[in-house]
Each structure stands twice: as C-alpha cells, then as structure tokens.
Amino acid sequence: MSVVYDAGVLIAADRSDRAVWADHRARLELGLVPVTTAPVVAQVSRRPQQAQLRRFLRGCDVQPFLGEEAHAVGALLGRAGTADVVDGHLAITAVRTGLSVRTADQEDLELLSEHLPTPLRVLPIHAS
C-alpha cells in the first residue's frame, strides 16, 4: 500500500536516513507512488542545495492545496482544537486518497484522526 508522507519523512530523507530511503525505494519498486502535499514540501524546502530532498520528491506525487479544501481543513482544525494547517491538509489528503500517513509527528496526526469521519492509519518513522 502506498502512503502519504509528512514533513518528518521528507526531513529524514533530506538527511539521508537509510531506513526512510529503503522504505521509499521498496514502495517505488512495487509501483506504489507515495503522496505528499505542496504545503509539506513548502515546510521543509529551504534552499536549492537540498539535493537529497529533491531526489526523494521525484518519486512522489505532490498534491496541491486546492481552494475547495480550505474549509474542510479549517473545520477539522476547529474540531481538533489545533492550528497546524499543514497537518490538517495532510490529514484531509490521506482521507481523500484512502492512504495511511507516514509521520514523525504521530501524536498530532492521531489527534486530528479522532475528528475525521474515517480514522487515519498512522505509521510512525524513527529518523536517525
């Protein structure tokens, strides 16, 4: 099964985390293209020299933040009592695509999951 990557996964990939890269390669070899979101990319992309990040993202489907999703994200954040728009959009994207979330921020995603009509499957990573 493919997954939706959060910022922690992209940061780990940018730092050449072997476990994250191995998991990513295995998915790609099985034809399972991981998903992430444009806001997640914006959160971690800081300079053009992040070659590892850019290489990792070539194997991902980067989903845009569409205007019609803004109200759903805002409503989710209101129900959960949080304010992280990037995590909110990631959660909405995971529900829309029916995919699990690979995250370094398990608690925040599980909190959002409690306020979704379909609970998220949250898969933690442990960056080295």
In this predicted structure, the answer to whether residue 127 has a pLDDT above a threshold of 90 is no
Q: Give residue 4's region: left, alpha or beta (phi > 0; psi -120 to 50).
A: beta
pLDDT (tens digit, 9 = 90+) per residue, 57-76? 999 999 999 999 999 999 99
Judge contact between 12 and 105, C-beta under 8 A. Answer: no
Domain around 43: 3-124
Give the count of domains, the chain: 1
Q: What is the pLDDT of residues 29-61, one digit of tens each?
A: 999 999 999 999 999 999 999 999 999 999 999
% of the chain exceeding 90 in pLDDT: 95
- CATH no. for residue 118? 3.40.50.1010
Q: What pLDDT digit, counting tens, does each position of 102-118 carry? A: 999 899 999 999 999 99
Q: What is the pTM for the complete model shown?
A: 0.93
